[in-house]
Chain A
Protein backbone atom coordinates (compact mmCIF):
# COMPACT_ATOMS: atom_id res chain seq x y z
CA UNK A 1 0.00 0.00 0.00
CA UNK A 2 1.34 3.41 -0.98
CA UNK A 3 1.72 5.46 2.15
CA UNK A 4 3.74 7.68 4.45
CA UNK A 5 4.64 6.17 7.80
CA UNK A 6 5.86 7.87 10.95
CA UNK A 7 7.35 6.46 14.14
CA UNK A 8 6.71 6.70 16.94
CA UNK A 9 3.06 7.71 16.89
CA UNK A 10 3.15 8.93 20.48
CA UNK A 11 6.13 10.11 22.48
CA UNK A 12 6.51 11.62 25.93
CA UNK A 13 9.97 12.86 26.79
CA UNK A 14 11.76 15.32 29.04
CA UNK A 15 13.42 18.61 28.27
CA UNK A 16 16.85 18.25 26.71
CA UNK A 17 16.69 14.57 25.78
CA UNK A 18 17.50 14.19 22.10
CA UNK A 19 14.91 12.43 20.00
CA UNK A 20 14.27 11.45 16.40
CA UNK A 21 10.94 11.00 14.67
CA UNK A 22 11.24 8.88 11.57
CA UNK A 23 9.32 9.36 8.34
CA UNK A 24 9.32 6.98 5.42
CA UNK A 25 7.46 6.88 2.12
CA UNK A 26 7.21 4.07 -0.42
CA UNK A 27 5.97 6.11 -3.38
CA UNK A 28 9.38 7.18 -4.73
CA UNK A 29 8.51 10.80 -4.05
CA UNK A 30 11.19 13.45 -4.43
CA UNK A 31 9.61 16.05 -2.16
CA UNK A 32 9.23 15.51 1.59
CA UNK A 33 8.24 17.88 4.34
CA UNK A 34 7.60 18.21 8.08
CA UNK A 35 4.79 20.21 9.68
CA UNK A 36 3.66 20.86 13.19
CA UNK A 37 0.00 21.32 14.03
CA UNK A 38 -0.99 23.41 17.04
CA UNK A 39 -4.48 24.46 18.18
CA UNK A 40 -5.42 27.81 16.74
CA UNK A 41 -2.29 27.93 14.59
CA UNK A 42 -3.03 25.27 11.99
CA UNK A 43 -0.16 23.55 10.19
CA UNK A 44 3.20 25.22 9.93
CA UNK A 45 6.02 23.94 7.78
CA UNK A 46 9.22 23.14 9.67
CA UNK A 47 11.59 21.84 6.99
CA UNK A 48 11.28 20.45 3.50
CA UNK A 49 13.44 18.54 1.07
CA UNK A 50 13.30 18.82 -2.70
CA UNK A 51 15.39 15.67 -3.16
CA UNK A 52 18.17 13.58 -1.63
CA UNK A 53 20.76 15.74 0.17
CA UNK A 54 18.69 18.88 -0.46
CA UNK A 55 16.90 20.36 2.54
CA UNK A 56 15.64 23.83 3.37
CA UNK A 57 13.94 25.71 6.17
CA UNK A 58 10.21 26.22 6.32
CA UNK A 59 8.44 28.77 8.46
CA UNK A 60 9.35 27.42 11.92
CA UNK A 61 12.72 25.60 11.75
CA UNK A 62 14.19 26.72 15.09
CA UNK A 63 15.03 23.79 17.37
CA UNK A 64 14.77 21.18 14.62
CA UNK A 65 17.12 19.38 12.28
CA UNK A 66 16.48 17.10 9.33
CA UNK A 67 18.46 14.94 6.98
CA UNK A 68 17.74 13.34 3.62
CA UNK A 69 20.32 10.68 2.94
CA UNK A 70 17.91 8.40 1.13
CA UNK A 71 14.94 9.23 -1.03
CA UNK A 72 12.43 7.33 1.10
CA UNK A 73 13.43 8.63 4.56
CA UNK A 74 13.26 12.09 6.10
CA UNK A 75 13.83 11.99 9.88
CA UNK A 76 13.07 14.94 12.15
CA UNK A 77 15.60 15.47 14.90
CA UNK A 78 15.12 17.47 18.08
CA UNK A 79 18.59 17.84 19.60
CA UNK A 80 17.38 19.43 22.84
CA UNK A 81 13.60 19.36 23.04
CA UNK A 82 11.77 22.01 25.00
CA UNK A 83 8.15 22.17 26.22
CA UNK A 84 7.21 24.62 23.43
CA UNK A 85 7.89 21.81 20.97
CA UNK A 86 4.99 19.83 22.39
CA UNK A 87 2.84 19.42 19.31
CA UNK A 88 1.37 17.09 16.69
CA UNK A 89 3.86 16.50 13.89
CA UNK A 90 3.07 15.46 10.34
CA UNK A 91 5.36 14.27 7.60
CA UNK A 92 4.26 14.58 3.98
CA UNK A 93 5.59 13.66 0.57
CA UNK A 94 4.80 14.38 -3.06
CA UNK A 95 6.06 13.65 -6.53
CA UNK A 96 8.47 15.94 -8.29
CA UNK A 97 7.26 19.43 -7.77
CA UNK A 98 4.82 20.50 -10.44
CA UNK A 99 1.77 22.68 -10.38
CA UNK A 100 -1.04 21.30 -8.31
CA UNK A 101 0.89 18.42 -6.78
CA UNK A 102 -0.88 16.56 -3.98
CA UNK A 103 0.86 16.19 -0.62
CA UNK A 104 0.43 12.75 1.00
CA UNK A 105 0.45 12.95 4.78
CA UNK A 106 1.55 10.54 7.43
CA UNK A 107 -0.64 9.65 10.43
CA UNK A 108 1.02 12.11 12.77
CA UNK A 109 3.26 11.89 15.83
CA UNK A 110 2.02 13.39 19.06
CA UNK A 111 4.99 14.66 21.05
CA UNK A 112 4.87 15.83 24.65
CA UNK A 113 7.95 17.44 26.17
CA UNK A 114 7.84 17.72 29.95
Chain B
Protein backbone atom coordinates (compact mmCIF):
# COMPACT_ATOMS: atom_id res chain seq x y z
CA UNK B 1 0.00 0.00 0.00
CA UNK B 2 1.11 3.53 -0.65
CA UNK B 3 2.37 5.52 2.30
CA UNK B 4 4.05 8.85 2.96
CA UNK B 5 6.14 9.34 6.07
CA UNK B 6 7.23 12.68 7.48
CA UNK B 7 9.22 11.73 10.57
CA UNK B 8 9.32 15.17 12.20
CA UNK B 9 6.15 16.71 13.60
CA UNK B 10 7.97 19.90 14.47
CA UNK B 11 11.21 21.36 13.19
CA UNK B 12 12.68 24.51 14.69
CA UNK B 13 15.60 26.29 13.06
CA UNK B 14 17.19 29.69 13.42
CA UNK B 15 16.84 32.29 10.72
CA UNK B 16 19.62 31.87 8.18
CA UNK B 17 20.21 28.22 9.03
CA UNK B 18 19.70 25.44 6.47
CA UNK B 19 16.41 23.57 6.48
CA UNK B 20 15.64 20.00 5.49
CA UNK B 21 12.17 18.56 5.87
CA UNK B 22 12.19 14.83 5.38
CA UNK B 23 9.73 12.83 3.31
CA UNK B 24 9.88 9.12 2.55
CA UNK B 25 7.34 7.25 0.49
CA UNK B 26 6.29 3.71 -0.17
CA UNK B 27 4.80 2.95 -3.57
CA UNK B 28 5.40 0.15 -6.03
CA UNK B 29 4.65 2.17 -9.14
CA UNK B 30 6.09 5.35 -10.62
CA UNK B 31 5.53 8.06 -7.99
CA UNK B 32 4.29 11.60 -8.42
CA UNK B 33 5.43 13.63 -5.46
CA UNK B 34 4.53 17.07 -4.22
CA UNK B 35 5.18 19.44 -1.37
CA UNK B 36 2.23 21.51 -0.18
CA UNK B 37 2.47 24.35 2.33
CA UNK B 38 -0.11 25.86 4.66
CA UNK B 39 0.75 29.26 6.08
CA UNK B 40 -1.13 30.49 9.13
CA UNK B 41 -4.78 31.25 8.26
CA UNK B 42 -4.22 30.51 4.58
CA UNK B 43 -5.26 27.75 2.26
CA UNK B 44 -3.12 24.78 1.51
CA UNK B 45 -1.13 25.53 -1.64
CA UNK B 46 1.32 23.78 -3.88
CA UNK B 47 4.97 24.54 -3.21
CA UNK B 48 6.83 22.06 -5.42
CA UNK B 49 6.24 19.06 -7.64
CA UNK B 50 8.98 16.60 -8.51
CA UNK B 51 8.14 16.58 -12.20
CA UNK B 52 9.07 20.27 -12.53
CA UNK B 53 12.46 20.14 -10.83
CA UNK B 54 12.03 23.80 -9.94
CA UNK B 55 13.06 26.04 -7.07
CA UNK B 56 10.24 27.95 -5.39
CA UNK B 57 10.89 30.53 -2.63
CA UNK B 58 14.40 29.08 -2.40
CA UNK B 59 13.13 25.56 -1.73
CA UNK B 60 14.17 22.54 -3.76
CA UNK B 61 13.32 18.87 -3.56
CA UNK B 62 14.90 15.97 -5.40
CA UNK B 63 13.26 12.65 -5.92
CA UNK B 64 15.60 9.84 -4.86
CA UNK B 65 14.04 6.60 -6.05
CA UNK B 66 16.79 4.49 -4.49
CA UNK B 67 16.09 5.88 -1.04
CA UNK B 68 12.39 6.48 -1.80
CA UNK B 69 12.74 10.00 -0.52
CA UNK B 70 11.66 13.50 -1.56
CA UNK B 71 13.23 15.75 1.04
CA UNK B 72 12.56 19.50 0.96
CA UNK B 73 15.58 21.74 1.37
CA UNK B 74 16.41 25.40 1.67
CA UNK B 75 19.91 26.72 2.32
CA UNK B 76 18.91 29.75 4.43
CA UNK B 77 15.63 29.76 6.37
CA UNK B 78 13.54 32.93 6.58
CA UNK B 79 10.94 33.81 9.18
CA UNK B 80 8.23 33.79 6.52
CA UNK B 81 8.97 30.11 5.90
CA UNK B 82 7.27 29.24 9.19
CA UNK B 83 4.32 27.07 8.17
CA UNK B 84 2.97 23.55 8.02
CA UNK B 85 4.49 21.46 5.22
CA UNK B 86 2.91 18.36 3.74
CA UNK B 87 4.51 15.86 1.42
CA UNK B 88 2.02 14.16 -0.91
CA UNK B 89 2.10 11.14 -3.20
CA UNK B 90 -0.27 10.88 -6.16
CA UNK B 91 -0.96 7.54 -7.76
CA UNK B 92 -3.19 6.59 -10.64
CA UNK B 93 -4.92 3.39 -11.59
CA UNK B 94 -7.53 2.41 -14.14
CA UNK B 95 -10.02 5.29 -13.85
CA UNK B 96 -8.71 6.45 -10.51
CA UNK B 97 -6.36 9.08 -9.15
CA UNK B 98 -5.68 9.42 -5.44
CA UNK B 99 -3.46 11.46 -3.22
CA UNK B 100 -1.92 10.36 0.03
CA UNK B 101 -0.51 13.03 2.32
CA UNK B 102 2.03 12.70 5.08
CA UNK B 103 1.11 13.84 8.55
CA UNK B 104 2.90 17.11 8.08
CA UNK B 105 5.86 18.92 9.60
CA UNK B 106 5.47 22.24 11.32
CA UNK B 107 8.45 24.43 10.53
CA UNK B 108 9.22 27.18 13.00
CA UNK B 109 11.94 29.67 12.05
CA UNK B 110 13.33 31.45 15.09
CA UNK B 111 14.37 35.07 14.52
Contacts and interface: CB of A to CB of B under 8 A. Distances in A.
Interface size class of A (residues with CB under 8 A): 20 to 34
A50 interface: yes
B17 interface: no
A43 interface: yes
| Residue with the greatest number of chain A CB neighbours at <10 A, chosen from B96, B99, B101, B103 | B99
Given A102-B46, A103-B46, A41 B103 contact: yes
B62 interface: no
Interface size class of B (residues with CB under 8 A): 20 to 34
Nearest to A44: B101
A59 interface: yes
Interface string A35-50: 1000011111100101
Interface string A85-110: 00000101000010111110111100
